[in-house]
Amino acid sequence: MGEENISFLAVWIILGNIFVTFSSVPEATTDTVFVSTSPLPPTAEWLTNYTDIVSKFSLRTADIPDDDMCYIVAGRPETIKECEFNSETQTFVVIHGWTVTGMFESWVPKLVSALYEREPTANVIVVDWLTRANQHYPTSAAYTKLVGRDVAKFVTWLQKELQLPWGRIHLLGYSLGAHVAGIAGDLTDHKISRITGLDPAGPTFEHADDQSTLSRDDAQFVDVLHTNTRGSPDRSIGIQRPVGHIDIYPNGGTFQPGCDIQNTLLGIALEGIKGLQNMDQLVKCSHERSIHLFIDSLLNTQQQSMAYRCNSKEAFNKGLCLNCRKNRCNKLGYNINKVRTARSTKMYLKTRDMMPYKVFHYQVKVHFFSKDRLSFTEQPMKISLYGTHGEKNDISSVLPVLNGNSTLSFLITTDVDIGDLMIVKMRWEKDTIISWSNWWGSSKFHIRKLRIKSGETQSKVIFSPKEGEFAYLVRGGEDAVFVKSKEDKMSRKEKLMHKLKMQGSLFGQNDA
């Protein structure tokens, strides 16, 4: 066996050890650890009993975001003053998830710093439940009920002690921490303003009741990012079902760009032996992307990612959902518009593989004519966009079906702000499999026009062939070139309203 095969075997042995914890989850739930399942006392006295609080609450600072320098202790008002808590501003409570190492992960100080960068006078409190989170997964999952009670008691005590407006309390929970936040919100004697769930954990929670998980009833507004929902229900790392007022599924929610095995293994290999300690990144990369997308929304305020309401990721990938009317689009992350509807709203978007994650979404709608009865599957296309601000060449797209005399709609994205779209080029690449049609018959389509809609600007533009009535799309041939023909009529009022909305004046600022 060669060295390459040995190293790859080592990779999968380590991965197997990580995954086995998840695969055994359904058999064990609260039986693994003692968690009282008896109903809570009919009075609220349990909320004021602080003797059984195990979790610790540190007020971190912008100067030292990676260390717990000062703990606020429920029932001890002097600790509020000692930690220099600011009662006049926003309070964020950050709750971590399951941990293999028993230590805070590197994302914690990054999120703390980003929150302070955005809200310099805020209080950022980090919940330390590491001893309970560093157990076999089912044990830690069961502990979320006790940790949720700790957080509920702490938040309620702090609010009463300082008469804090509930509207200034925002819980942010990652993985198991998202369910801790939900349980805490369910138990407080007043609704918390906002809970953000960052890829809430899936195993043991996919089919659990609302009192045991994050749910839309746990705060006045609950927004959720789903970034790692691959696999069958209850065995996917992140929860698959919607659990908030708005549930956003970046890149379909199953898997995130840049988190493929090749990229991760390359990074690990470059670090040598030390890299083996980071094998869990293969599992965590997409899971943790939820946090970094939220950090991105805090730091890159001029590059806000937009998500779009859609019934399915398949419809979204066809470009059918790029509509902003009646709250059908929204900002991802900190600046989200707090829309509370009767049912959970599922939203989708594409992102880049690195920060800033924002991309621009376009629906391309095209009718293909052909003299012969042509039919192809999985055809690779390259599309180039040229606008008033910039250009993006050779955007790859694969058309699942390509038939003569049919209309196709598909989604393309670019990380470049090209401004108003002026020219579009389309090229039909040769596929890797040699088709019989390469040997005889025509592989040419006629295109009379393209219709392109921009998600970010809501503009609808028709493009006509640069020369003649038709442009010709030939497999392995030259670019078919289209130029701006006319823009669908959008009233001046509609354009102004959309501009105001995108700049935030209609997005209910300051109620975060």
Q: How far apart are the first and last CA of the chain?
A: 57
Question: Which residue type sits at 362?
Answer: Y
Co-location of 253 and 394 in the same domain: no
Q: Is residue 128 part of a domain?
A: yes
Q: How many domains does the chain have?
A: 2
- Asked if 361 and 411 touch (Cβ cutoff 8 Å), the reply is yes
Tokens of 217: 């009833």
Alpha carbon distance 200, 196 (integer Å): 10
**Which residue in the list 245, 287, 292, 446 is annotated as catalytic?**
287
Co-location of 368 and 235 in the same domain: no
Q: What angle do CA 264, 267, 269 make, to 5 degrees?
A: 105
Q: Is residue 411 part of a domain?
A: yes
On whether 210 is known to bind a ligand per the annotation, the reply is no
Co-location of 328 and 382 in the same domain: no
Co-location of 195 and 246 in the same domain: yes
Q: Is residue 36 part of a domain?
A: no
Alpha carbon distance 15, 230 (integer Å): 16
Alpha carbon distance 124, 198 (integer Å): 17
Alpha carbon distance 332, 361 (integer Å): 14
Identify the three-state secondary structure at position 94: strand
Helix axes 281-299, 107-118, angle to 10 degrees: 10
Question: Which residue type sits at 125?
Answer: I
Alpha carbon distance 47, 35 (integer Å): 17
Q: Cα torsion for 171, 175, 180, 183, to the nearest 10°?
A: 90
Co-location of 345 and 364 in the same domain: no
What are the distances in angstroms from CA 341 to CA 67, 216, 321, 345?
Answer: 40, 10, 18, 7
Q: Is residue 34 part of a domain?
A: no
207 is catalytic: no
Co-location of 236 and 338 in the same domain: yes
Alpha carbon distance 369, 428 (integer Å): 15
Co-location of 340 and 388 in the same domain: no
Co-location of 161 and 284 in the same domain: yes
Tokens of 488: 């669908």
Among 349, 381, 396, the domain-final residue is 349
Q: What is the pTM of this model?
A: 0.86
Query: Among candidates 206, 208, 214, 159, which has minimal Cα distance to 184?
Result: 214
- Asked if 383 and 473 touch (Cβ cutoff 8 Å), the reply is no
Identify the three-state secondary structure at position 68: coil
**Which residue in the list 55, 140, 175, 464 is annotated as catalytic?**
175
Query: Which domain range does residue 418 map to?
Result: 360-433+441-484
Q: Is residue 231 part of a domain?
A: yes
Domain of residue 151, CATH code: 3.40.50.1820
Co-location of 193 and 323 in the same domain: yes
367 is catalytic: no
Q: Quick one: 476 exposed, middle or buried, by C-beta within 10 A (0-12, 13-18, 19+)?
A: exposed
Residue in the structure block whose two tokens are 């320098």: 69
Among 301, 319, 349, the domain-final residue is 349
Identify the three-state secondary structure at position 294: helix
Domain of residue 396, CATH code: 2.60.60.20
- Asked if 157 and 48 touch (Cβ cutoff 8 Å), the reply is yes
Query: Among candidates 400, 390, 327, 398, which has minimal Cα distance to 360?
Result: 390
Co-location of 342 and 391 in the same domain: no
Rounded to 5 degrees, φ, ψ at 309 are: -65, 135
From first to last of its 512 residues, what are the pLDDT tens digits of the chain?
Answer: 443 333 333 333 333 344 434 444 443 333 334 444 344 544 567 888 899 999 999 999 999 999 999 999 999 999 999 999 999 999 999 999 999 899 999 999 999 999 999 999 999 999 999 999 999 999 999 999 999 999 999 999 999 999 999 999 999 999 999 999 999 999 998 999 999 999 999 999 999 999 999 999 999 999 999 999 998 887 899 999 999 999 999 999 999 999 987 666 666 566 655 544 455 566 689 999 999 999 999 999 999 999 999 999 999 999 999 999 999 999 999 999 999 988 899 999 999 999 999 999 999 999 999 888 888 999 999 999 999 999 999 999 999 999 988 999 999 999 999 999 999 999 999 866 555 444 444 589 999 999 999 999 999 999 999 998 999 999 999 999 999 986 445 555 666 666 666 565 444 443 33
199 is catalytic: yes
Q: Is residue 258 part of a domain?
A: yes
Among 349, 378, 393, the domain-final residue is 349
